[in-house]
Amino acid sequence: MILTVTPNPALDHTLTLDEPLRSGVVHRTDAARFDAGGKGINVSQYLRALGESTLATGFLGDPFGSVLRAQLGEEGVDADFVDIDDTTRLNTTVLTPDGEYKLNHGGPRVGENAVDSLLETIARHDPETVLVAGSLPRGIDATAIDRISAAGSWEVAVDVGGDLLRSLSGRYALCKPNREELAAATDEPVDTVEGCTAAAEALRARGFDRVVASLGADGAVMATEAGALYAPALETDVVDTVGAGDALLSGVLAALARGEPDAVALKYGVAVASRVTAVAGTVVPGFDDVRADVEAVSVSEC
């Protein structure tokens, strides 16, 4: 089972207006939706759609935490979150004819006692793999992630910012930076695929068994002990890139959990990401026939 930890989840509130925003005007709309947000949560949603056993955890505080928890229940995503006293983030996006406006909360404050409870929750479910993904709430730092890495026999993967990657001191099975995070973690040039490959190999040497770097339209690179692999992106009609990196990671983790070799895992990641970019917003596409896309992905040694 793959357990995902989202330390700083958010309830995503999206409003759609049929007119531009104007100061001093009360805008009204019936087009509103709430979605459970956060990188680890996204990965659990994709893993479930891929048929993998998964459970989402992290820190939740009312009132928005209750709505987020209920949302996951409606989607059939198993969850066991740690309750905190502070409030879970509410991130608001306003869509108008002339643009997109985002208002994001910084997040709650979390103490070490909550981290202790999180470790107990992880241990109770005894996962094979733990993914820690997304930003950290106030009050905790990279030490909390290192504690998760050292607390059990599970393998730990991380999808966090470049500064956090630099601060980790444990041993990790995998990390998944995007291009910008790879640059921030290594200070290496990442303008080309070759540069990204070199940066991924340099990052792997710091304590990661695998580094999977998502490169947007350029595809993805995987650095391993045996060498580096590159997979270009599949040609597809891109509708929305939101969640593409989380989808890539989901495909890789699902394939590795089934014992697939690294090259096949990278193919799965690119194929799943391709499916996600073909749909709008946070909609989880169908993956029943994703194997055909997997076979269309080419992988080469760098």
The DSSP call for residue 25 is -
Edge-to-edge strands of the sheet including 172-175?
82-83, 54-60, 2-6, 129-133, 155-159, 172-175, 208-214, 220-224, 227-231, 300-301
C-alpha triplet 125, 133, 78: angle, nearest 5°: 40
Which two structure tokens, joined as six digits, stand for 127?
């996962």
Q: How far is CA 207 from the centre of its chain?
A: 20
Q: How far is CA 56 from the centre of its chain?
A: 12
Closest residue by Cα to residue 145 from 168, 112, 178, 120: 168
Which residues, in sequence order, are CB contacts of 104 under 8 Å at separation 6+?
10, 89, 91, 92
Angle subtended by helix axes 262-277 and 244-257, to nearest 10:
150
Contact at 8 Å (CB) between 157 and 129?
yes
Closest residue by Cα to residue 100 from 12, 26, 10: 12
Phi-psi region of 114 (alpha: psi -120 to 50; beta: other; left: phi over 0): alpha
The residues that are catalytic are: 246
